[in-house]
Amino acid sequence: MASKSHWSTSLLTDMFKPENILKQDDHVVIIRDKYPKSKHHYLTLPKETINSITDLNTSHIGLLKHMALFADKFIQSLLSVDCQGVKYKMGFHAIPSVPQLHMHVISTDFQGAGLKTKKHWNSFNTEYFVSNEEILKQLESKGKVHFDKFKFSDLLHTPLKCHLCHKVASNMPQLKEHISKCNIK
């Protein structure tokens, strides 16, 4: 019987499967997020094995800048075809949950089948979602990337709030119902 790869390492193998690759060059690859939290949700990953943001050092500054430019070009190509008007943001989770450095590229509709929990919501809609610029700032000033585990984990438990009008919702079904209408405005 073929052995199944463990979920926590599958990103590192799945990113090299040709059928998963949407765009690549010698250094970077873009794949679809397997459990999308929005209508358009992609991951940009370096081909070099780098476990996490905490493994970055100043030698990776060029790579980080390249990842952002590469993802930006990818977004522009999507926008010019059939996703006109779609808004995106890109960034990292302060405390990533799976190995291999990955930068999220996500449209801000948050209408994905994978968006199920308060943690999911807050990981994209609080300071837990960290921009590429913030990562670069830390690398350039301190030579490393650090986010306090307790402080940032707490952000995942903050009240659910619509990212557009800031209305507070009591639970995920209520929030999802609200944002589906708020998005139309």
Q: Which residues are catalytic?
A: 102
Dig out the tokens for 79 from the structure. 């926008």
In angstroms, the first-to-last Cα distance of the chain is: 52
Judged by CB under 6 A, the residue of 27, 34, 87, 167 near ligand AMP is: 34
Comparing CA positions, the residue from 181, 174, 35 lying closest to residue 115 is 35
Residue 43 touches ligand AMP, criterion: CB under 6 A: yes
Q: Which of 71, 93, 107, 112 binds ligand AMP (CB under 6 A)?
A: 93
Burial of 94 (0-12, 13-18, 19+ CB in 10 A): buried
CB of 113 to ligand AMP, least distance (A): 11
> Per CB under 6 A, does 21 bind ligand AMP?
no
- Site residues (CB under 6 A) for ligand AMP, limited to 107-136: 114, 123
Burial (0-12, 13-18, 19+ Cβ within 10 Å), 104: buried
Stretch that binds ligand AMP, among 29-37, 68-76, 145-153, 165-173 (CB under 6 A): 29-37
